[in-house]
Amino acid sequence: MANNMSREASVTSGVSSGLSDSHKTPGNVVAQTSVTSLHHTHKMKSAEAEQTPKVPRRRPVPGKGFRKTRRGCFNCKRRRVKCSEGRPECHGCRRMGMDCVYPASLLPAPHQQMVPAAPTVKVCADHLRFFHHFLVEAYPPHPYGASGVWQDAAALSHEYEFLASALLALAAQHLTLFDQRDHSVQALGLRISAIKGLNDALSQPCISGADADARYAAIIALTFQSSYMPDGLMDFIAMMRGWMLISTTLITNHQTSIFRQFTRESFISGMEKYVQNRRTLKNEMAIENFLASLRTILPLCQGKAERQYLSTLERIALLSKISPRDALLEMVPCYALTNKMTNDEYASFTDPSNYAAQVLLAHFLVLNNMLEMGFLGTTGRHFAFSKNITHAWVANIGRSLPDGFQKYMMWPLGQAIGLDIS
């Protein structure tokens, strides 16, 4: 029995030993080997580290390792440190309580948007020529001796774009009448710009006397430009009315205005400077024919404005038989007849379908040209083109009338062909 127990103990011991050996898998063996190897290596490195002398750590050099910048502030440049380039002061200057000053630069600051420049008028060589022509010759000829006033108006134009456009438009249109080149397209473009700018300005109150003078100068320039345009008759009448409106509403202190001498009396006295010493017209028969033509128009004039207009023309024609000089001077206020009309009368008179008014305007143009050519001749280049413009305006009226009204235009159209009837 003792032998059996001894044999079982040996078997149990062998089984336990076998189970223990069976847990020693290849993986476990590798793991144990690796741990042992790492522990050994760590001990070797520790020993080497103890034998190697320690090297002191180098301090970082200021500015090294950073991207150089040319836009840093002066303080950071002097200290040789990286500037954060913050505006209005960088981080370093704010931390140290220093005044942060940046060098002037042509480049925009970081994250700073470019501010667009104020709009400017595009200036070209033709504009310079137009401006010179205005100063020398194209300034409005009435009233006489007002060239100094227009020099002052030209000096205002650099502050008022609409005034500059108006003066250039007038000069371009005037130059077209004498130059071989046609500047009418440029003149029209400048005119449109001037009218738009003037309308915008009129929607705002005048802050100073210069504001009022600029508006007044612009409307006068636009009025005279329309008198140089072959198709500008109705524009001329409209501008005359605008001239009167601005004169009576904006020029409140005539004593301080550069246009203080622009009165009805000054226009009449200015015209006297041009009038040559002549007592009668060369062809008095032209006046008789004019009066006869007016009598044929009388039945057409149904409205108050038309009848008053015809009456004024008849009075001036009769005066010309006695004193052509006085008749010419009376033509100056006759230009403003449409200004005295009410809004309804003006709208009716200038309606293209008001054929009676169109015929009256044609007679007015011819009578005015007769008197101008009789006493002014071609005094200077200011009046040299009057004949051509009058011919164009009268011819345009004749073409716009229906067949039934052509007979009332026989005399004006006949005179417009030659016009040298004085």
pLDDT digits over 249-288, tens only?
Answer: 876 666 778 887 776 666 666 666 666 555 556 667 888 9
Q: How far is CA 74 from the centre of its chain?
A: 43
Q: In the structure encoding, which two tokens stand for residue 25, read together?
A: 């898998």
Tens digit of pLDDT per residue, the chain (422 long)?
444 444 444 434 443 444 344 444 444 433 444 444 444 544 554 555 455 555 566 665 554 555 556 678 888 888 888 888 888 888 888 888 888 887 765 344 444 444 444 444 455 788 999 999 999 988 888 777 778 889 999 999 999 999 999 999 999 999 998 888 899 999 999 999 999 999 999 999 888 889 999 999 999 999 999 999 999 999 999 999 998 888 888 766 667 788 877 766 666 666 666 665 555 566 678 889 999 999 999 999 989 999 999 999 999 999 988 887 788 878 877 888 898 899 999 999 999 999 999 999 999 999 988 887 766 655 555 555 678 898 999 999 999 999 889 999 999 998 887 654 43
CA angle 155, 139, 151 (to 5 degrees): 25
Residue with tokens 């015929």: 359
**Amino acid identity, position 90:** C
Q: Give the C-alpha separation, 400 to 158, whole Å.
A: 41
Q: Give the C-alpha separation, 420 to 418, whole Å.
A: 5
Q: In the structure encoding, which two tokens stand for residue 222, read together?
A: 């636009």
- The answer to whether residues 377 and 276 touch, using CB atoms and an 8 Å cutoff, is yes
Q: What are phi and psi of 253, to 5 degrees?
A: -120, 90
